[in-house]
Amino acid sequence: MLKKKEKYVVAVVGATGAVGNEMVAVLEERSFPVEKLRLFASERSEGKTLQFEGSEIPVETLNEDSFKGIDIALFSAGAEGSKIWAPVAAKSGCVVVDNSSQWRMEPDVPLVVPEVNPHDLKWHKGIIANPNCSTIQMVVVLKPIHDVARIKRVVVTTFQSVSGTGKKAMDELLQQTTDLLNFREIKCNVYPHQIAFNCLPHIDKFLENGYTKEEMKMVNETRKIMGDDSIRVTATTVRVPVFRCHSESVNIETEKKISANEVRALLAETPGVIVFDAPGKNIYPLAVDIAGKDEVYIGRIREDESIDNGINMWIVADNLRKGAALNAVQIAEKLIEMSRST
């Protein structure tokens, strides 16, 4: 477990990427008790600096001794980078919170959303996994409903922004949009098809069952985080020409009847969730409004009239914040809270 201290030496691995940048910003915004911040990225970023609390912090390249003296490391360096370096960090006595898919389904690695399953942090062995961005915003909403009415089945369709792929994808959307509006030929480098003014029902690789890896992540991660393998989940994940924020259309079937008004009241009391639901006044969550915000927003709450115990919802959250950087920092905050309560 994390040692009890007043301040901590913190590392961000993959600091120059979109999520890494956000991790540094969130640490500062939330006044995380940082004694010293160290930043790591690939060799091509060496020599760069990032601002933190008024100082310019140099970006370093990782080596076998990099994690000595570091208490907490927030990783956003991709699955391959995490596979190599997270065990090195853990062996050095550092607690790793990893944002990649590398460790999520490992039985001895907790997969944590602090509002849902903070108790799982108690059995970590040095590495803690940050869930998929789309899974995080969904389970924050599902958990209180599951506790009251027990969810039997979830059908989710996501509308995911290009920032989920990274900065190169954001640049590609901008370039394609500019080229199309200026009647120039477009180029597709990041995605297999044009993303500007288009929707791609394809996120990550296709598997033998016809689903993509992203879709199966949502299925398997939801069950692990919720601690209930009986929940049936089916997902369709779609990349849309939005720079930031993921939106989701979610349909749930519950064992016990719960009304739309009861869901609204329940979620209005749920930490980290904001009910934004007055369709008669055109009030519902929109990606353009929620970019940069920490909470998960929910609207269009209504009963599914095709089944006895069904609810439809529209869920939106900033994928770089609650879907990645913020959730990782909240895990670290929870670890500190647990260390101080023992």
Which residues does the annotation mark as catalytic?
A: 133, 246
Under CATH, which architecture does the 135-319 domain have?
2-Layer Sandwich (3.30)
pLDDT of residue 233: 98
10-residue mean pLDDT profile of the chain (342 residues): values are 90 94 96 97 87 94 94 95 96 96 97 97 97 98 98 98 95 98 98 98 97 98 97 98 98 98 98 96 97 97 98 98 97 95 76
Residues paired with 128 in a beta bridge: 97
pLDDT of residue 45: 85
SS3 category, 260: helix
Residues of the chain with CATH 3.40.50.720: 8-130+324-340
Instruction: Name the token pair of 104.
Output: 């999520």
Which pTM value belongs to this model? 0.95
Q: What b/e readout covers 125-158, taking b as 16+ CB neighbours within 10 angstroms?
A: ebbbbbbbbbbbbbbbbbbbbbeebebbbbbbbb
pLDDT of residue 3: 83
Distance CA 71, CA 94 (A): 5
pLDDT of residue 130: 97
Cα Rg of the chain, angstroms: 20
pLDDT of residue 4: 86
Residues of the chain with CATH 3.30.360.10: 135-319
Q: What is the CATH number of domain 8-130+324-340?
A: 3.40.50.720
